[in-house]
């Protein structure tokens, strides 16, 4: 609910209270007047008559005083609600502004770095998915890096380390390029980066540019620890 609507409701409530107070006071006055039987008496403008007439309504000031206290209490409650609502709206707007500013900064940085590379294309990168994984609580005002994103980066690092070990003969298996390519494609897709299948030399060049991009983003925008830096590839 925006401020204009809230103010309209507040004014409407005050109008209703004023009408209710006025009508109720009038009805009470009429009731006391009829109950007194004063209307059956002869018309009299003497001081004692006027005094007697006003004595009929002796309880009305007490009612008005009580009603005014009720109105003040209602206005106070509505005022507190209005102030709290404004604060919450302001906080929500502030968080949204921070989110949009950070998202645009992230997007502009990724596009800028992609344009510096030879083989990368920003159309192959789902920047929004990447950002939402990296900062899942951004809309709530928190820029803490998400746990799922950290896990996905570790998965990429593990795939590279595993391929490095196999290629260097540290494991009793042969390095299989097709298997390596499938694993890297799948791990990169988890953060929104898609690489097409291609010949070995071309793929290695593209993946190295991607790893370079990931490291830049993680260092400059995510401020991750050293163990989340993607290592150099040693396989050829």
Predicted pLDDT of residue 215: 96
Radius of gyration of the chain (CA): 38
Closest CA to 191 of 128, 142, 233: 128
pLDDT band at 4 (very low <50, low <70, confident <90, very high): low
In this predicted model, what pLDDT tens digit does every residue of 99-154 receive, in sequence order? 899 999 999 999 999 999 999 999 999 999 999 999 999 988 889 999 999 999 99
The rounded mean pLDDT for the chain is: 81
pLDDT band at 26 (very low <50, low <70, confident <90, very high): low
**93 in Cβ contact with 141 (< 8 Å):** no
Q: Is 120 exposed, middle or buried (0-12, 13-18, 19+ CB in 10 A)?
A: buried
In this predicted model, what pLDDT tens digit does every residue of 188-197 receive, in sequence order? 999 999 999 9
Predicted pLDDT of residue 119: 92
Say if residue 20's pLDDT is above 80: no
Q: Where are the domains of the chain?
A: 3-98, 117-228
- Whole-number Å distance between alpha carbons of 34 and 27: 11
What letter would DSSP give residue 220? Answer: I
pLDDT band at 158 (very low <50, low <70, confident <90, very high): very high
End-to-end Cα separation, the chain, in angstroms: 60
Q: Indicate the length of the chain as a whole number.
A: 236
96, β-bridge pairs: none
pLDDT band at 224 (very low <50, low <70, confident <90, very high): confident
Can you list the alpha helix ranges (DSSP code H) found in the chain? 3-36, 47-55, 60-116, 127-134, 147-167, 177-189, 200-217
Which is more confidently placed, 96 or 135? 135
Predicted pLDDT of residue 120: 93
Say if residue 10's pLDDT is above 80: no
Q: How many CB atoms lie within 10 A of CB 217?
A: 19
Predicted pLDDT of residue 192: 96
pTM: 0.65
Predicted pLDDT of residue 62: 62
């Amino acid at each position: 609910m925006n401020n204009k609507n809230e103010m309209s409701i507040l004014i409407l409530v005050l109008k209703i209270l004023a009408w209710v107070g006025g009508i109720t006071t009038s009805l009470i006055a009429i009731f006391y007047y009829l109950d007194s039987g004063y209307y059956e008496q002869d018309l009299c403008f003497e001081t004692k008559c006027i005094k007697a007439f006003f004595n009929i309504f002796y309880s009305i000031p007490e009612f008005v005083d009580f009603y005014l206290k009720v109105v003040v209490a209602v206005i106070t409650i509505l005022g507190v609600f209005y102030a709290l609502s404004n604060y919450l709206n302001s906080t929500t707007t502030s968080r949204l502004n921070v989110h949009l500013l950070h998202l645009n900064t992230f997007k502009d940085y990724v596009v800028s770095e992609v344009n510096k590379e030879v083989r990368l294309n920003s159309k192959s990168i789902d920047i929004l998915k990447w950002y939402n994984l990296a900062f899942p609580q951004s809309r709530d005002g928190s820029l803490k890096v998400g746990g799922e994103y950290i896990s996905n980066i570790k998965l990429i690092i593990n795939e590279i380390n595993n391929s490095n070990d196999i290629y260097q003969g540290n494991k009793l298996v042969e390095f299989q390029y097709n298997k390596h390519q499938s694993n890297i494609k799948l791990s990169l897709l988890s953060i929104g980066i898609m690489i097409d299948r291609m010949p070995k030399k071309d793929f290695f060049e593209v993946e190295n540019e991607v790893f370079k991009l990931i490291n830049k983003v993680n260092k400059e925008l995510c401020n991750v620890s050293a163990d989340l830096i993607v290592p150099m590839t040693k396989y050829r």
